[in-house]
Amino acid sequence: MKLRPRQERILEFIEEYLDEYHYPPTIREIGAAAGISSTSVVNYNLERLEEMGYIQRNREVSRGIRLMGYRSRRSIAQHEAAQVPLYGEIAAGEPIPMPANPSEVLDHVTVPSELLPSSGQVFALRVKGHSMIDALVDTGDIIIVRSQPAVENSEMAAVEILEPHERAGATLKFFHQTGDKVELRPANPDPAYQSFWLDADQVKVYGKVVSVLRRYQ
């Protein structure tokens, strides 16, 4: 059933009132906002809205209106997206030297909640290079990383190569460990991209990649 303009205004006012005061309006307040002088007319429209499933009412209290499906704007902002710190670039190829202060936040990116893990701290890095294109990660993408000191085999990880010095830096690869040996494996069939084989103590894990953001031009 299609709402009448007056009913649409009543619903709109109830939501606005809830956003501002965090409790529902009275019948008289609704009437004043909707330009209705008669409380019986307000009641009539509220009954129709209740019949259509837009609201629930408790007639025993003066503010006994519940807006069905309502979430405050503050709740939406907090739960549908989050501001994730962007720490800089990570190589998908030859490692990029770590900045002098790798914890420094350069910017923030807005990330939908469904792309975030249910627990743990996260941070973002911008990808530079093509070594992970078969994993659908390419240069310019932003990866979201859950901060953790270890990952499972075959998980995509943000890691720092500590030694040898000529290869030191941050890189994005699939992580594989057998005993005290670690393979950092690319996802690109081009022979230019080869695995790095290192001792486990030559690698520091910063976290597991949980999602990828891509902007299409």
Active site residues: 131, 173
Residues 122/83, Cβ–Cβ less than 8 Å: no
Residue with tokens 């209106």: 65
CA distance 44 to 135: 58
Do the beta carbons of residue 129 and residue 82 sit within 8 Å? no
Pairing of strands 203-213, 181-185: unpaired
3-state secondary structure the chain: CCCCHHHHHHHHHHHHHHHHHCCCCCHHHHHHHHCCCCHHHHHHHHHHHHHCCCEEECCCCCCCEEECCCCCHHHHHHHCEEEEEEEEEEECCCCECCCCCCCCCCEEEEEEHHHCCCCCCEEEEEEECCCCHHHCCCCCCEEEEEECCCCCCCEEEEEEECCCHHHCEEEEEEEEEECCEEEEECCCCCCCCCCEEEEHHHEEEEEEEEEEECCCC
